Amino acid sequence: MTFTCLDNAIENDLPDSPESKDTDDEFKSHGRTRRGGDQENLSREERRRRRRATQKYRTAHATRERVRVEAFNVAFSELRKLLPTLPPDKKLSKIEILRLAICYISYLNHVLELN
């Protein structure tokens, strides 16, 4: 028995995952800037914008993003290894990997129901 995608109706892209919330101490407001000035007269959005403009914040954010993207790509690589394709070394996009995984899971469920 060979695997073929039984459900070709999967045409829509999957919804984006919600953005992760940052929990760094840098996000916590202490009421003072690094220069010691008062922040009480600034809005929450302005304080957040100023914190995000610092080099330390940008560097930390870029590092977190690199780690997140690397983990994301490793997960797709591992999933790709589990999916049968012809030829086996065919390059697939992330959405193609997800669609193929959905079809393969449906196929495996169908095989289990037959037995």
Please count the structural domains in the chain: 1
Residue 82 has pLDDT above 70, yes or no: yes
Whether 72 is in a domain gets the answer yes
Model confidence at 35, pLDDT cuts 50, 70, 90, reads low
- Which residue, 103, 104, 74, 80, is CA-closest to 92? 80
64-92 burial, b if ≥16 CB within 10 A, otherwise e? eeeeeeeeeeeebeeebeebeeeeeeeee
Residue 73 belongs to a domain with what CATH number?
Answer: 4.10.280
Q: Is the pTM of this model over 0.75?
A: no
Residue 86 belongs to what domain range? 25-114
**Is a pLDDT exceeding 90 seen at residue 106?**
yes
Give burial (CB, 10 Å; 0-12/13-18/19+) of 50.
middle
In a domain, 12, yes or no: no
Decide if 4 is inside a domain. no
Stretch 52-61: mean pLDDT, rounded?
90
Residue 38 within any structural domain of the chain:
yes
Banded pLDDT at 41 (limits 50, 70, 90): confident
In a domain, 101, yes or no: yes
Is residue 25 pLDDT above 50, yes or no?
no
- Phi and psi dihedrals of 32, rounded to 5? -135, 145
Is the pLDDT at 81 greater than 70? The verdict is yes
What is the pLDDT, as a whole number, of residue 27? 44
- Domain presence at residue 60: yes
Residue 68 domain flag: yes
C-alpha to C-alpha distance for 62 and 21, rounded to whole angstroms? 15
- Residue 20 within a domain: no
SS3 state at 38? strand
